[in-house]
Every structure is written in C-alpha cells, then in structure tokens.
Amino acid sequence: MKLANYMISASRNLYKHKLFSAINILGLAIGFATCILIMLFIKDELSFDSWIPDSENIYRVELTSFPPGTRTFELAATMGPFKPFIEQDFSEVELASRLRYEKRNVRLGDDYIAEQIAFVDSNFFQIFDLPLAQGIVDQSFDDPAEVILSEKMAIKYFGEINVVGDSLTLSNGRDYRVSAVLKDLPHTTHFDLNLVIPLSYSEFPKDEESGDQSILDDWFNIGTYIYVKVDRSANPVNLVSQFPAFLDRRAPRPNDRVIPSERWQLNLMPLEDIHLKGAPEARIKPKGSMTTIMSFALIALMILIIACFNFMNLSTARASLRAKEVALRKVLGAARKDIIVQFLTEAALMAFTAFLIALVIVEVSLPYYSILINKILGIGVLHSPVMMGLLVILTFFVALGAGAHPAFIMSSFHPSRILTTGKSESVGSIKFRTALVIIQFTICISLIVTTLVVYTQLEYSLDRDAGYNKENLIVLDSINDPLVIGQSQVLKNRLLALPNVSQATLTSSVPADRLVPILGFGNVGGQSVDPILLRVQSIDHDYLSTYGINMVAGRNLSRNRGDDVAVYYDEDMKDSNILINQSAVSKLGFKSPQDAIGKRIIDEVAFTIVGVIPDIHLQTTREEINPTFYYIDQKFYNKLTLKISSGNMERTIADIKEIWIDLFPQVSFNPQFLDEKIAAQYKSDQDQGQLFLLFAGLAVIISSLGLYGLASFTADRRIKEIGIRKVMGATVFDVVKLLVWQFSKPVMIANLIAWPLSFYIMSRWLENFSYRIDKLTIIGFCFAAGGVALLIAWVTVAGNSIRVAKSNPIKALRYE
Amino acid sequence: MLKLQDLTKAYRTDEVETVALNNVNIEIEHGEFVAIMGPSGCGKSTLLNIIGMLDTPTSGHYFFQDEDVAGYSEAQLGVIRKQHIGFIFQSFNLIDELSVAENIELALLYHDIPASERKERVAAVMDKVGIAHRAKHMPSQLSGGQQQRVAVARAVVGNQSMILADEPTGNLDTAHGQEVMEMLQQLNEEGTTIVMVTHSPSHADYARRTINLLDGHVVTESMRA
C-alpha cells in the first residue's frame, strides 16, 4: 500500500504549502484551459463542410480574372452560363448546380423583411444531401412557386416548424408553398441556406422594356456559384487542365484582342477547403485564415510550454525544501525507485487536479470565448472519448515531464550528508531557470507589442481623416429595388422636408461598399492609351454638400446644365461631364488637377472632366484609394445618404421610417449609420485585437507565476547570503534592491530579443495596410511593453524579496 | 560600553512560553575580553544575539554607550550595529560566490565609503590577518582556519569597537583554533571589546572575565588575575 502512503503524503504536502500548490496548480490549469480553448477553435475552423455527406467529391468552380491595368481578382463566384456546358463537356462531372443569392422582401404580418434568398438549381439537393426537419425534397426541386425553409425561418415566419404546405408571400406579390424544412445548418458551413427557391427565368426574367437578357444568361455577370459533384474515380487535376480549352470553346471573348483563357482562369476548389483556402472575393461568408490558425496553434503551444516549465520550476524549487524528508525516507529503507515513484505520484496528482480545474475553466468561459471568437463552440467535442483520451495522455506526459526532474535529482541525495549538515545539494541550475524566464518574457513582451500595434492601427483606421465628414450620416439601401427606384427622387424630397434632415444624396455606392464597378478608358485627352481603369461612382448634385467634400479644381456638376447628367438615347449613352478624384488625375497622366479640367476621356462615349475633388477613403485602410470618376446617372442609384442634425436620433429615424413605409410598404427599411458601417469593416481586426489582448494577459499571468517560483526558489537559496549581508549592515531596502535587480536582468534580456522580433513581425503586419501608423511607433510600443514587463516582474518578486529581506538573519546564520 | 539590566527574553508559541534569558544583569566595560560559557540551551546565543542587536529583549533594559536601545526598531538597531559591532560565526558565514577581498569589502559596502578607500582598507586588514596572498581566492579554496581569518578581517575592517564571536573555534582544529584566539587577543590588546561564546575552557582563558550561564540565569562570574 505504498501508493496510498504516497497519495496521503502528497496531498498533505500540497495542503501544507497551500499558496505554493495553488499557484502551481492554477498556472498549469490556466495553461491547459487556454490550450483546450484554442484547440476547440482550431478544430472548429478545420471542420468546415466536412460533415456534408460525400463532401470529398464536391467542388466549387472558382474564377480568377486578370483585367488589364489592375490587380488580379480571385472570385468565389463565376459566370452562370457555364453550368450546362460543364455537365455536357466533362463526363467525370456527375452533377453541376448553380446557387445565386438575392435580397428579397418577405411578408410577415403587415411588415416586409429583407431576406437573403438562395436560388438553386433543381439538382442542388442531390449534390448536397442536407438533413431535413420536415417534408421531403422532390427529385425535381423546380416548381417556381416552391420554397424550402430552415427551421429558424419557419419559426420566424410561422412560429413552428411543422409548416409543409403553408405559404410565404414575397414583395413581388407571389406566394411560395413550403415543400420542406431544412435542419438549421451548423455554423461550420461555407454557405447560408435560410430560404431556398428554385432558380428560374421567372425569378430572373429578361428585361422586356430594354430587351436586356436575363442575368442567368449574362456571361459578364459574375455572381453565380457553381458546384459540381464528380465521379469518385475522377482526378480533379486532370479536369482543371482541360479548363483553358473549355473556356475558349464556350465563353465569349472579353474583347477583340484577347481570348477568354487569357482573361480568365477556372479552378476547382474542394468543398472542405472553401472556408480556409477558397477564393477571397465574392465570398458568401468571410474567409477563415490559415495564418490565424497557425499563429493560434503556436500561441497554444507556447502557453502550454510556459505553463509546463513553470510547473517543473516550482515543483523542483519546492522539492529542495524537502531534502530532509527524502533523507529520512531513505534511512528508513526507501530505495531510489520509491522516491522517484513518490515524486511522480505527487506531480501526477497536481497535473490531474490542474486538468480538472482546466475543464471547469473551459466550461465556464466558453460562452464568453464564443462571443470573442464569433462562433458558437460546443464543449461536445471534449466529451468524445478520443479527445478526452488525448487530453488525459497529454496531462500524463506533463506530469511525467514536470515530475521527472525533481524526482531524479531528489532521489539521488545522500541521506548522511543531508542529515548531518542539514544542507541539500543545489537542485537544478539557475541558468536553466533564468533561460526559461527569458523565453517566457520574450513571448509576453512580443504579445504586448502585438496587442498595442493592432489596437493603435485600429484606432487610426477608425479615426483617420477620411476626406469627408462621416458624422451624422444615415444610409438607406434598397434604392435599386424595382419598387423604389422609380420613386427615389420623391423619397429624397419628402425626407428633405423633415426638420432634422439637412442634406440628402442618391449614389450608386457609399463608403465601405465592397464591389464597385470599374470602367476602362482607351482614349485620354485625344490620345489612344492602354485602357486605364477607373472606379465608377454614380452621384447626384448634392453628393459633395452631403459628404462635406470641397472642390480641388473646376466646378461641381450643375442642375442647370443638361450635359452634366448622363442621358440615354435608345440604349446608348450620350456624352456627359464628370468629376474625378486626385488619384485619377495622376493615373490618367495629367500634370495637375487644373490641367485635367476640360479634358475628355473616352470609353464608348466621351466624358469631359469639369471638376476635381480630393481623394476620399471609400474602403478600409488596407486598400489604396482607387482612381475614381463621378458622374450623374439615375439608373445606378443604390443608396440614399442623409445628413441629419444630431439631437434626437430615435425620433429622426422614426420620422424617416414613417415616410418609407408610406411610400414602400413592401420593402424593408434598413437604416444604417455610416460611421457604424465603416467600423464594422474592422470587426475582424477588433476581434483579433481582443484575442491578442487575452493571450497576452494569460501569458503575462503564467509568466508571473513562473517568475514568482524562480524568485522564491533563489531567495531560499540565497537566504544565508542575505543574512550575512544584513549583519554587515545591509538594510531591507538594500536586499530588496539586490533581489529585484537579479530578476530585472532576465526581463531586460527578454526585451532585447523581443524588440527586434516584434518590430519585424509587426512592421510586416502593418504592410497589409495602405494607410497605417508610422512604423517607428512600434519602437515606442516596444519600450512601453518592456516597461510593463519590468513593472510586472518587480511587483511579482518584490513581495517575496521583502519577506526574505525582513527575515531575521540569525536563523540563517546559526547553523549550516 | 554596555549594560544589561533585568533583561528577559521569552519565546512564545501558541501553548508554551520558553524563557531563554531570565533577569540577566551584565555590565561590560570598553576594552574588555569577555567569554560566555554554559551548556547547550542555556541561552548563550540568545544573549549574544541581543547584545549584537540581531534580536530584541522581551523586557528589561539594554544600555549601549549609555543609550537604552531595548525599545529600538530593527532599522534603528541596524544603524548602531553596522557602526559599532562586528560578528564572527562558528560556521564562518562567508558568501560562496564572492572572493576573499569581496567578502571583506562587504562590511564596508553598506557604509557609504568610496570604492578607493574601501580597497585600501580591505588591503590593510588582509595584511593584518595574513591573508593578503589569498585575496582573489574563493572561500571554498581556503582551509577552515583561513576562512575564519577572513571572517575576522571582515569583522574589524569597519573599525568596529566591539566584536561578537559565536564559538569562533568550534569548527576548527586545535592549531587553527589557537591561531584565531591569538588574533582575537591581539585585537583586544589594540582596544577592541570582545564578547565570545565558547565551549572550550582553554579558549575561555584568553578572556579576562568569564560569565557562566545556566537555564537563562547568570550563575557565576569569574575574573582572571
């Protein structure tokens, strides 16, 4: 029953040194918990779409586009008309299906709510065998008056999920019969399927008035996702190699000079890889980041290592105080093996206690962590026997690794020497411990610098002078809704009559909108050039006044001049006057804004530059300001921006809503403050900043525990020296200074390693931003982080140092 | 030089009170050489610690140069101690990581003495105790006798007027013990007050007065002719 004796002895020992045990176990528990939380995140990120049956044979067709004169676009979506040809031309492709999203308004009682509707081909559910809650999916999901709902939507619109056979009404006046209810998709899916309606020409008709073809037949509309299911034996590489020829055979030429395969490239993206490796643009959901996963894995590993080293450090330090117990046990007949087993038992007891505490920490912190990382994580994964087994094995190895060091050293003590002189051999090398502290603080300091840089860049992005006044601007969307577009001027005028609305402007896009059209100009100022690409922004006369933008040169577009507005005559646009921004001035090759005035640039029609406005930031600080041209074209209005007076915002919005509902009862009302919309673009930066803050905090806590362990270990070792110094006249302050300096050194060395490291990493990170804080500020942050680390180190060791410095020296000096 | 009046020291734990010194009255004149003897546990070391201001009495008075220091704080005692009192221990208590010269210098380090003067005084005192040729050695490279000589040098380098020695020869063989005693005698002749705790009657004979302690009481005092 030796083991029982060890357990008793171990637990009493832990209890006797309560503070020490608590610090030791808590440090390890925090390390374990952090590790488990990060593991849950990583496992979640890696499990996207793999739960879909047959997922390994499903691919998405993605498009890379090389428009001349600008960067490459990697798009998740492609051209819809490919779909039948892919099925026809490749025998390996068993099924191909389109998915296209469009916002529609759905009736709920007297209100209409804007919803993202998924339009899919009839064979979509043959490729994606998704679990149903109610009903069955017809082999031919092709009745245009059919809808499949998710459980969430069924509850939203009907209050229950047993709704097969009920009908939903859209703002186009049509009823859709519910044919099935889908189980809600887990968040580990790259697409959203809330309301699914068959994709058909009745939803995307030809424009009878203009004669424009249906969007489904438009080769130049890139907004359709195509999924293919391939034969189990098919080789996707082989398939992709045939794509260039396929493109040239099936797609129309972009223009006379290039063939399709020169402009475009098709790729197959495996379903399971879409989340992390799929094309970054035109995505359904934001892309996951492999870099984030790797850096999180690295951080998890580092935190676990720090925690294990601490555990080892603290255990060894404490063990050296127990030399006498070991010596007595040996005198009483314990073999070396017994001592080793005893110390390992103790380490295991502590490690498993830490493990249990870690599980509690994980369970308690999971809801908050879920908010922080923006996904709902279940602890369910942990309950699987395999995962649990792995964690138990990990704990066992930690115990072994941490316990082995003291166990083997302590068991090698010579009892006679310890019992006669009372002197224990030195345990472990100070250098090794100091190295560990240096590593820990290098990690801490780097994480603190990272956190500071991420937050400061975020502040900069949000606060920088955007070139316009973004305060008190409210944006209304859905202006391009067929029910709204014709009445947009009426809406604008009625809103302007409100006392709190001072300005209003109709535009094609507003700042922070993602996809904005681009036009190429082959003739500038009468000379032929390689096409120069400019962003196109349709505005109205009140654009500059609403956004508070001043002219740099020339004049604003005027209400009194017919040629200041784009006019169409039989489909064809007539020449008109435009404004350009300063970037466009240099991109087009003009010497100065003044020089550009009166010059003509020609695409198919000629535009005359009448005014130049400053560059304004329409997108995030990551992007360069694009050369842009502004003209007035009512056809492309999408957004209405209102300048309102500060004051009673709720009242103002209620007034605006009243007018909207009066005019467009069937279109949902979605007001958004522009500054909030801009801030939302930085949400992932914000989340990342918060996570770094969390990790830096944890690393600091665990490192402080380690330093505390080292401090108590060396203080105990130096107790005789301190006694001598005190007898020689050293004051408490002298001794504290001595000890604190000893621990300042490793932190200073850590600074010297961490500073260049974090400067390098963070200046690389800042290069992602076209507009960023000065890289030299990182140096300031390095000093700040170094100061914080030193302060933390001082606070950690000061308490212990003061205790040792105050102790009566005679105790240390009387006996050796 | 110092006078102890009705001095009592009691150690208290939760349940028991142990009286280490009970109503002790001792007077020591400037320039005396006093030996304190008695069996283990009689309170010798407690007495020496109180005299050396490393410990404070429970009650009674301790006049050091006519100043009652019995109620002084640790910091106040520290100031007097470092000016007037040097210590020699049975186990030498040298710092293993410092050289001979550095160990001796330690006694000057906390006295606001410029480095150049410190060096001079350390060199002088090393000459005096005959350890100058070992200045750069570490304590572990010295014999016990040499180590104790370093400790003596350290005790006097600050021109302390009193040396307290707690069994200075306890860890030394006869020859080395003799050597250390002779050195203490010489210091005493030069005017240093010496109070020494010892078990050895022959070493106690170097002292001019011997105080015998038993169970915290002074039992006899004897003067050498």
Q: Which residue of chain B comes nearest to A811, CA vs CA?
A: B54
pLDDT in tens, A273-330: 999 999 888 888 888 888 888 888 888 888 887 787 787 777 776 766 677 777 777 7
- Flag if A730 and B109 touch (Cβ within 8 Å): yes
Residue A156 confidence (pLDDT) above 90: yes
Average of per-residue pLDDT values in chain A: 85
Residue A422 confidence (pLDDT) above 60: no
Structure tokens at A100: 């296209």
Residue A212 confidence (pLDDT) above 80: no
Q: Which of residues 725-764 of A touch B (CB under 8 A)?
A: 725-732, 734
Q: Does B87 touch chain A (CB under 8 A)?
A: yes
Identify the pLDDT of residue A648. 83
H-helix or E-strand containing A608?
A: strand A606-613
Mean pLDDT value across residues A361-374:
85
- Range list of β-strands (E), A349-500: 473-476
The DSSP-derived string for A62-130 is: EEEE--TTS--EEES-EETTHHHHHHHH-TTEEEEEEEEEEEEEEEETTEEEEEEEEEE-TTHHHHS--
State the Cα–Cα distance between residues A556 and A554, nearest whole angstrom: 7
Identify the pLDDT of residue A424. 47
pLDDT in tens, A557-566: 888 887 788 7
Average of per-residue pLDDT values in chain B: 88
- Flag if A723 and B87 touch (Cβ within 8 Å): no
Residue A53 confidence (pLDDT) above 50: yes
H-helix or E-strand containing B219?
A: strand B217-223
Residue A626 confidence (pLDDT) above 90: no
Q: Which of B9, B95, B112 to mutate to test the interface with A (most CBs of A within 10 A)?
A: B95
Residue A420 confidence (pLDDT) above 60: no
Residues of A in contact with B49 (CB under 8 A): 810
- ipTM score here? 0.81
The DSSP-derived string for A290-342 is: HHHHHHHHHHHHHHHHHHHHHHHHHHHHHHGGGHHHHHHHHHTT--HHHHHHH
Q: Which of A420, A430, A721, A727 to mutate to test the interface with B (most CBs of B within 10 A)?
A: A727
Query: Between A710 and A500, whose confidence is greater?
Result: A500
Q: Which residue of chain A comes nearest to B50, CA vs CA?
A: A810
Confidence of residue A543 (pLDDT cuts 50, 70, 90): very high
Identify the pLDDT of residue B225. 57
pLDDT in tens, B69-86: 988 888 888 888 888 998
- Flag if A724 and B95 touch (Cβ within 8 Å): yes
Residues of A in contact with B110 (CB under 8 A): 725, 728-731, 734
Please name the residues in contact with A591: beta carbons below 8 A apart, sequence gap of 6 or more. none
Q: Which residue of chain A comes nearest to B79, CA vs CA?
A: A729
- Flag if A729 and B94 touch (Cβ within 8 Å): no
Residue A677 confidence (pLDDT) above 90: no
Identify the pLDDT of residue A523. 81
Residue A427 confidence (pLDDT) above 50: no
pLDDT in tens, A520-530: 787 887 788 87
Identify the pLDDT of residue A428. 52
Identify the pLDDT of residue A226. 95
Identify the pLDDT of residue A69. 64
State the Cα–Cα distance between residues A284 and A187, nearest whole angstrom: 13
Query: Between A735 and A381, whose confidence is greater?
Result: A735
Residues A580 and A596 sit within 8 Å (Cβ to Cβ) = yes
Query: Between A73 and A418, whose confidence is greater?
Result: A73
State the Cα–Cα distance between residues A96 and A238, nearest whole angstrom: 17
Amino acid at B37: M
- Flag if A728 and B109 touch (Cβ within 8 Å): yes
Q: Which residue of chain B comes nearest to A723, CA vs CA?
A: B93
Residue A582 DSSP symbol: H
With left for phi above 0 and alpha for psi between -120 and 50, is residue A155 left, alpha or beta?
Answer: alpha
Residue A691 confidence (pLDDT) above 70: yes
Q: Does A809 touch chain B (CB under 8 A)?
A: yes
Residues of A in contact with B158 (CB under 8 A): 729
Question: In angstroms, what separates the C-alpha of B133 from chain A's closest C-alpha?
Answer: 24
Mean pLDDT value across residues A62-73:
81
Query: Between A110 and B153, whose confidence is greater?
Result: B153
Identify the pLDDT of residue A225. 95
pTM score of the predicted model = 0.73
Q: Which of B56, B79, B93 to mutate to test the interface with A (most CBs of A within 10 A)?
A: B93
pLDDT in tens, A471-519: 889 999 888 888 888 889 999 999 999 988 999 999 988 888 866 677 7
State the Cα–Cα distance between residues A22 and A318, nearest whole angstrom: 13
Question: In angstroms, what separates the C-alpha of B208 from chain A's closest C-alpha?
Answer: 26
With left for phi above 0 and alpha for psi between -120 and 50, is residue A41 left, alpha or beta?
Answer: alpha
Query: Between A484 and A712, whose confidence is greater?
Result: A484
Query: Between B11 and B118, whose confidence is greater?
Result: B118
How far are the Cα atoms of B28, B47, B209 from residue B36, in angstroms, in the given order?
A: 12, 9, 9
Structure tokens at A714: 């060396």
Query: Between A639 and B19, whose confidence is greater?
Result: A639
Mean pLDDT value across residues A87-102:
92
Structure tokens at B144: 């016990």
A 10 A CB-CB count for B54 gives 24
Share of chain A above pLDDT 90, in %: 29
Lowest mean pLDDT among A117-131, A263-277, A397-411, B137-151: A397-411
Residue A464 confidence (pLDDT) above 60: yes
Least Cα distance to A795 among A762, A747, A751 occurs for A747
Identify the pLDDT of residue A297. 87
Question: In angstroms, what separates the C-alpha of A323 from chain B's closest C-alpha?
Answer: 21
- Flag if B87 and A816 touch (Cβ within 8 Å): no
Identify the pLDDT of residue A425. 46
> Could you say which of B89, B109, B158 has the minimum Cβ distance to residue A813?
B89
- Flag if A810 and B93 touch (Cβ within 8 Å): no
